[in-house]
């Protein structure tokens, strides 16, 4: 019997790897640019204290700063991509650490610029911005100047900067406890073998067809959180206090206002998301009732919500075929889009397969001076790999079009819009596959169910998380105690709302709020829910209306970070100030639930 082993990096054919020579042909070229970037840092001294003297000095300082940032991003991109090829390679790990170091030194050297820009008088700044040579930097400067009421005198800013590392304590303590010190014991798998339970395989156990395996893993996993619940509650509470400190010292009314300010998102968008999802929970309840019936259960528990309803799907698609399938699915976006993407997917944008030491997971990454690379670990027998490929291709094409149509200063788009392009592509893939497998009810049901569970996890679940963050921050801001009993009580009430009477809520499920890392980056998770809502709305428009909506969508991808995210989405045809996109996402979800129920009848 032959044992399949993970190959070494050197055994992977070149055509199956990404081509990083557009960044640097050889490592020595990286070293040369690194030395150049280090020497450039002293150039900041020429501008310190002089930004308000003339528009020429002002413009030259901005362009000098952007030029160094561009060099360092190129250095970092190459180093992190090479390091991710094999995490055991000390050479590239060292280069990555050096790239981070020069970035940190650049941040320190340029730290005077924002306060100095904000200190320039309104009259002088208006004259600078009116100069024709500054036309390209209007939005860039606007983002800096709007922070003026929230920027303090230099000595206070220095103290705040010094406090940043200390402020990471709650997140770091949580990370160490959650990822290092906590252990979850062993659980028997379907074959009766004892396996160590971990964060990595917890979901795998919840996918088990055997309910006793799912149940045992669930309760054993949460026993560790029960054992550490007081420490975790205290850590979470301190994270909220940290948020309150920084929001108040920077003159924001609330933590949420402080967090949303960077993207110019009003509280009403956040509130509208929660209100709209809460009003339209019935399709979710319908799905859970169907899931209980399809699994043949008397009652549904949380550990029953991950296991596939449709199993044993026969799927095999080599990478080249997956690339071709992706291009066919994305044909509604036009020949130019698919031609560029096709050349990228088959022309070494993608590092395709697993090798020993390679980073797990998948991502799209690059910089202004490189192709938008994709790292993944493609598996021909797993349909999820096909979805991963087209998802990351959405990010890469977003980056490609942004770079093609924007100057360096505006090429990078915000997280708020980042997931729109990737999720949009997944929706088009699902639409294509349903037609491709129209005579295969089992595959159709699997594809529909996959999309339902993705929307459930991204729209409904993340909205519940967003509401939890809103409630707990409001409590902390009003000096209410946040003990373990209070925190879990709030979370349990939300579970009861978002699951209704469709789920038996085991007591330990209220501890789930103690294990979500995103809660240590406050008011972030709502972006997942708004992102998928915008993507669904845009994809449905393109499929329904064709070329006009396609062209508008492609123009949105070309905007990069040249406008506020809500403004960009509005130009694409989605108004996130309105509940309409979220309502349309719920309607889409409801339609998919109805489709699944109908298709499932064909399997009986």
Q: Which H helix or E strand runs over 468?
A: helix 461-477
**Cα separation, 598 vs 595, whole angstroms:** 5
**Cα separation, 176 vs 174, whole angstroms:** 6
**Total residues found in the chain within this entry:** 604
**Backbone torsions φ then ψ of 373, nearest 5 degrees:** -70, 155
**Cα separation, 354 vs 379, whole angstroms:** 9
CA nearest neighbour of 290 among 276, 311, 304: 304
Cα end-to-end span (Å), the chain: 39
Binning the chain into helix, strand and coil, the percentages to the nearest 5 are: 70, 5, 25
Order of all β-strands in the sheet with 363-365: 350-351, 373-375, 363-365
CA geometry: angle at 557 spanning 268 and 531, to 5°? 35
Report how far apart, in Å, the C-alpha atoms of 201 and of each of 119, 186, 214, 450 are. 53, 11, 11, 19
Single out the catalytic residue among 85, 116, 392, 469: 392
Strand partners, 301: 504
**Cα separation, 328 vs 432, whole angstroms:** 8
Cβ atoms 601, 594 nearer than 8 A: no
DSSP H helices in 177-318 = 199-206, 211-227, 229-249, 255-261, 267-279, 282-294
User: Is residue 196 classed as helix, strand or coil in its secondary structure?
Assistant: strand
Cβ atoms 351, 374 nearer than 8 A: yes
Q: At what angle do helices 138-145 and 122-130 cross, to 10 degrees?
A: 160
**Backbone torsions φ then ψ of 374, nearest 5 degrees:** -130, 125
Place of tokens 């509005």: 570
Q: Which H helix or E strand runs over 365?
A: strand 363-365
- DSSP tag of 379: -
CA nearest neighbour of 593 among 463, 454, 496: 454
Cβ atoms 450, 411 nearer than 8 A: no
CA nearest neighbour of 303 among 438, 187, 138, 434: 187
Residues in contact with 219: Cβ distance below 8 Å, sequence separation at least 6, in sequence order: 506, 508
Report how far apart, in Å, the C-alpha atoms of 455 and of each of 297, 306, 442, 519, 532 are. 23, 13, 20, 20, 8
User: Is residue 351 classed as helix, strand or coil in its secondary structure?
Assistant: strand
Is position 583 annotated as part of the catalytic site? no
Report how far apart, in Å, the C-alpha atoms of 383 and of each of 348, 377, 600 are. 22, 13, 19
Cβ atoms 305, 291 nearer than 8 A: yes
**Cα separation, 139 vs 561, whole angstroms:** 9
Token readout for 6 is 């993970």
Catalytic residues: 392
């Amino acid at each position: 019997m032959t044992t399949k082993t993970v190959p070494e990096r050197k055994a992977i054919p070149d055509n199956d790897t990404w081509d990083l020579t557009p960044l640097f042909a050889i490592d020595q070229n990286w070293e040369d640019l690194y030395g150049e970037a280090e020497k450039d840092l002293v150039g900041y001294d020429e501008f310190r204290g002089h930004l308000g003297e003339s528009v020429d000095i002002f413009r030259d300082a901005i362009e000098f700063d952007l030029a160094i940032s561009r060099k360092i991003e190129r250095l970092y991109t190459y180093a992190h991509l090479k390091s991710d090829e094999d995490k055991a390679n000390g050479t590239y790990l060292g280069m990555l650490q050096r790239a981070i170091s020069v970035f940190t030194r650049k941040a320190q050297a340029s730290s005077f610029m924002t306060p100095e820009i904000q200190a320039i008088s309104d009259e002088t700044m208006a004259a600078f911005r009116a100069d024709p040579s500054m036309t390209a930097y209007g939005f860039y400067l606007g983002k800096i100047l709007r922070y003026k009421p929230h920027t303090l005198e230099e000595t206070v800013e220095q103290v705040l900067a010094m406090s940043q590392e200390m402020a990471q304590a709650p997140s770091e303590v949580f990370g160490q406890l959650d990822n290092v010190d906590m252990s979850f014991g062993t659980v028997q798998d379907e074959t009766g073998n004892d396996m160590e339970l971990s964060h990595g395989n917890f979901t795998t156990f919840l996918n088990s067809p055997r309910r006793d395996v799912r149940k045992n893993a669930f309760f054993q996993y949460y026993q560790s959180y029960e054992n550490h619940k007081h420490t975790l509650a205290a850590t979470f509470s301190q994270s909220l206090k940290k948020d309150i400190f920084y929001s108040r010292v920077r003159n924001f009314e609330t933590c949420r206002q402080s967090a949303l300010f960077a993207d110019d998102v009003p509280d009403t968008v956040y509130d509208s998301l929660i209100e709209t999802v809460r009003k339209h929970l019935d399709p979710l309840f319908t799905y859970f009732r169907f899931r209980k019936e399809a699994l043949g259960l008397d009652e549904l528990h949380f550990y029953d919500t991950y296991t596939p309803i449709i199993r044993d799907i026969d799927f095999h698609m080599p990478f080249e075929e997956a690339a071709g399938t992706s291009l066919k699915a994305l044909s509604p976006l036009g020949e130019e889009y698919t031609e560029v993407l096709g050349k990228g997917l088959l022309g070494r944008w993608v590092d395709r397969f697993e090798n020993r030491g390679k980073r797990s997971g998948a991502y799209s990454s690059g910089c202004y001076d490189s192709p938008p690379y994709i790292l993944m670990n493609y598996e021909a027998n797993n349909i999820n790999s096909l979805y991963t490929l087209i998802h990351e291709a959405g990010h890469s094409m977003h980056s490609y079009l942004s770079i093609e149509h924007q100057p360096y200063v505006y090429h990078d788009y915000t997280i708020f819009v980042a997931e729109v392009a990737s999720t949009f592509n997944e929706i088009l893939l699902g639409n294509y596959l349903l037609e491709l497998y129209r005579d295969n009810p089992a595959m159709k049901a699997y594809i529909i169910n996959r999309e339902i569970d993705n929307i459930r996890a991204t729209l409904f679940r993340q909205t519940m998380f967003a509401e939890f963050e809103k409630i707990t921050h409001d409590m902390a801001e009003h000096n209410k105690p946040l003990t373990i009993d209070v925190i879990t009580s709030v979370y349990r009430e939300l579970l009861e709302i978002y699951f209704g009477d469709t789920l038996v809520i085991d007591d330990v499920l209220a501890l789930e709020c103690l294990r979500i890392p995103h809660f240590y980056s406050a008011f972030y998770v709502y972006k997942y829910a708004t992102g998928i809502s915008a993507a669904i709305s845009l994809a449905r428009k393109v499929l329904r209306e064709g070329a006009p909506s396609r062209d508008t969508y492609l123009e949105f991808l070309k905007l990069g970070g040249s406008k506020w995210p809500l403004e960009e989405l509005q130009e694409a045809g989605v108004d996130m100030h309105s509940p309409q996109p979220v309502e349309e996402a719920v309607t889409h979800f409801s339609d998919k639930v109805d489709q699944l129920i109908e298709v499932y009848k064909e399997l009986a």
